[in-house]
Amino acid sequence: RWCCVPGSLSPPGGLGRNTNASLELFFYAEDVPALGLMSYHVERFEGGVVPVAERQNLSLPGHNANLTAPLETSQETPEDIEVDNGVLKLIFNISTGQLQFIIRDQETWAFHQNFFHYEGSKGYNFNTYNRASGAYIFRPVKDEVDVVAPYANVSIFRGKHVIEVHQQFGPWVSQIIRLYQGKDHLEFQWLVGPIPVEKWVGKEVITRYKTQLMTGGVLYTDSNGRRLMRRVRNHRTSWNLTLTEPVASNYYPVTSAAVILGNRHQVTVLTDRPQGAASLTDGEIEIMLHRRLLYDDGKGVSEPLDEMQYNKGLVARGTHIVQLSKTYKEAKPRTRAPPANNTVNLTTTAPPPVTQPDTPYKYREGAERHRIGAVNLVYGPLLTVSRTSLTASEWSKRYRMKYTGMLREPLPLNVHLLTLERWTNNSLLVRLEHLFEAKEHPIFSQPVSVDLKNLFSEFEVTRGVELNLAANQEMAKTVRLKWDHEGSKTEFHRPPLDSDLVAVLAPMDVRTFQLFVQPRKSA
């Protein structure tokens, strides 16, 4: 169950890359155990047949002269380009090479994505109006963005397990859109840089995902990978906002997810690193990818944000996962007129399901996919590679190919092992977190119990002590401050850890334990 696809995105001219490899090996690593190990032996056979993904190059009429690398072959397609993995169908505009529609569950979403850049402000920081955009300050010259390229050079690779759409937006921006067979999400792997700064103009590069959801000026961003914070455009809940920087004032930190909600639909963008995000127009999410600026902002580093490598600006590479979901959210009055066409958020065969108004779980499908997907993206398996002269048979006889892991049983799907650390010679520090917020999901938002005594396969837990979050004080000896507050306050009173060592986690809970262990006697 493997195939080869073209090598991943490379900087212009192979900057910093010393290899002649042209293909990537793709296979499914199935049943990798939690806290475990799975080894694979890859061997090259001379003269063998390599299953390579089928390639289709698409020529955009009238635009090829502006592309840096000519296509190997050129074929004109009279209709739009479609790729389908059995769950999602993507439709690309043949005139621009850009994504324009996604079909999921017989619903057609208008969905556009492209790269843009803001021009960074110049200045010497004499006053507020002379403040430069720099390492600590995002301050564009104007509110409007400039498009990197209005079209993309497209190559499509259809493999057995993955479909890749390669897009080249010019000499310094490219990306791969991946559809995995049978998977219900899109993967955008982007490559930006070196950013050109001719005429001493700094650039702050974004990607923008555009839909026609009626979001009412609201964006949700995660707080350190946990609860979602409601962000209202041009508004602050605790003071009257005087808007002087309409773009920067609406940017918010994102650790792992940015979300917009329509009446019945949700778009979630998962990031593989902390980034800045905004929704400056209803139905849109934009995320800052890379910045190169030529003036210092006067906030302490005493140099412009102009990092170099190989005598050129830095190249940034990253991944976004885009999920389209139904929210089952109660209908609200429209915030703007519906789109003129019938292609967005409308079922093509039957009207959308009606949710009873008293349903407390508004985001059930989107919440499950967001929470599990973010953990999988940020805490993915650690991949290591080593050379060997041994054959697969010799390697498997000498080394262990699979280790079933330290956990005796898999944790519940809504529980994440946040910390596992040797604390003393005979104890481990363990932190467990509940991944879901209250009322996000009818099943996964409920309190869940974890048996700490039988948590590990190779260790027997003899005793456990609950600590505070910082792990510097026993919870039983901690005296919490009591704060005055307005309105009612709902608090979950969790049972203390008893001799049975069963820990109960409420939604969004993080609990810390020192577990005293000894090697488990073999049966």
* Same domain, yes or no: 226 and 88: yes
More confident residue, 486 or 305: 305
* Same domain, yes or no: 306 and 418: no
Q: What distance in Å separates the CA atoms of residue 91 and residue 97, rounded to the nearest whole number?
A: 10
Domain closes at, from 326, 347, 379: 326
Domain closes at, from 301, 326, 351: 326
* Same domain, yes or no: 320 and 411: no
- In total, how many domains does the chain have? 2
* Same domain, yes or no: 209 and 108: yes
* Same domain, yes or no: 238 and 135: yes
The residues near 71 (Cβ < 8 Å, ≥ 6 apart) are: 57, 59, 64, 153, 155
* Same domain, yes or no: 282 and 417: no
Distance (Å) of CA 296 to CA 290, 304, 506: 17, 4, 46
Identify the bridge partners of residue 268 per DSSP, sorted by sequence position.
259, 323
* Same domain, yes or no: 286 and 423: no
Q: Tell me what pLDDT residue 343 has.
A: 33
Q: Tell me what pLDDT residue 48 has.
A: 62
Asked, for residue 12, whether it belongs to a domain, the answer is no
* Same domain, yes or no: 412 and 286: no
Q: Prior bond to 194 cis, omega within 30?
A: yes
Q: Tell me what pLDDT residue 76 has.
A: 40
Q: Tell me what pLDDT residue 13 has.
A: 56
| pLDDT greater than 90 at residue 361 | no
* Same domain, yes or no: 293 and 419: no
Give exposure, 98-121, as e/b (b: 16+ Cβ within 10 Å): bbbbbbbeebbbbbbbbbbbbbbb
Asked, for residue 130, whether it belongs to a domain, the answer is yes
Overall average pLDDT of the 495-499 stretch: 81
- What is the DSSP code (8-state) at residue 128? G
- Domain of residue 322: give its range: 76-326
Cα dihedral across residues 108, 323, 5, 175: positive or negative: positive
* Same domain, yes or no: 150 and 254: yes
Q: By three-state DSSP, how is residue 381 classified?
A: coil
Q: What distance in Å separates the CA atoms of residue 147 and residue 484, rounded to the nearest whole number?
A: 50
Closest CA to 504 of 457, 454, 446: 446
* Same domain, yes or no: 316 and 411: no
Whole-model pTM: value is: 0.84
Q: Tell me what pLDDT residue 415 has.
A: 95
* Confidence tier at 348 by pLDDT (50, 70, 90): very low
Domain closes at, from 271, 302, 326: 326
Tens digits of residue pLDDT in 417-465 = 999 999 999 999 999 999 999 888 889 999 999 999 999 988 999 999 9
The residues near 154 (Cβ < 8 Å, ≥ 6 apart) are: 57, 58, 60, 81, 92, 97, 165, 166, 167
Q: Which residue has the tokens 């994504």?
A: 99
Asked, for residue 301, whether it belongs to a domain, the answer is yes
Distance (Å) of CA 269 to CA 222, 371, 405: 11, 12, 31
Q: Tell me what pLDDT residue 22 has.
A: 73
Window from 111-120, 202-211, 296-305, 352-361 with minimum mean pLDDT:
352-361
* Same domain, yes or no: 416 and 308: no
Asked, for residue 364, whether it belongs to a domain, the answer is no
Asked, for residue 151, whether it belongs to a domain, the answer is yes
Overall average pLDDT of the 202-217 stretch: 95
| pLDDT greater than 80 at residue 3 | no
Q: Tell me what pLDDT residue 235 has.
A: 93
Distance (Å) of CA 100 to CA 90, 109, 376: 8, 8, 27
Tens digits of residue pLDDT in 228-264 = 999 999 999 888 988 889 999 999 999 999 999 988 8
Tens digits of residue pLDDT in 117-132 = 999 999 888 887 788 9
Alpha helices (runs of H) in 10-133, residue ranges in sequence order: none
Question: Residue 498 sits in a domain of what CATH number?
Answer: 2.60.40.1360
Overall average pLDDT of the 107-122 stretch: 94
Checking DSSP bridges between strand 275-278 and strand 252-254, what pairing results, if any? Answer: antiparallel
Closest CA to 275 of 299, 251, 295, 298: 251
Tens digits of residue pLDDT in 375-395 = 999 888 888 888 998 988 899
Question: Residue 269 sits in a domain of what CATH number?
Answer: 2.70.98.30
Asked, for residue 39, whether it belongs to a domain, the answer is no
Asked, for residue 56, whether it belongs to a domain, the answer is no
Asked, for residue 47, whether it belongs to a domain, the answer is no
Tens digits of residue pLDDT in 405-423 = 889 888 999 999 999 999 9
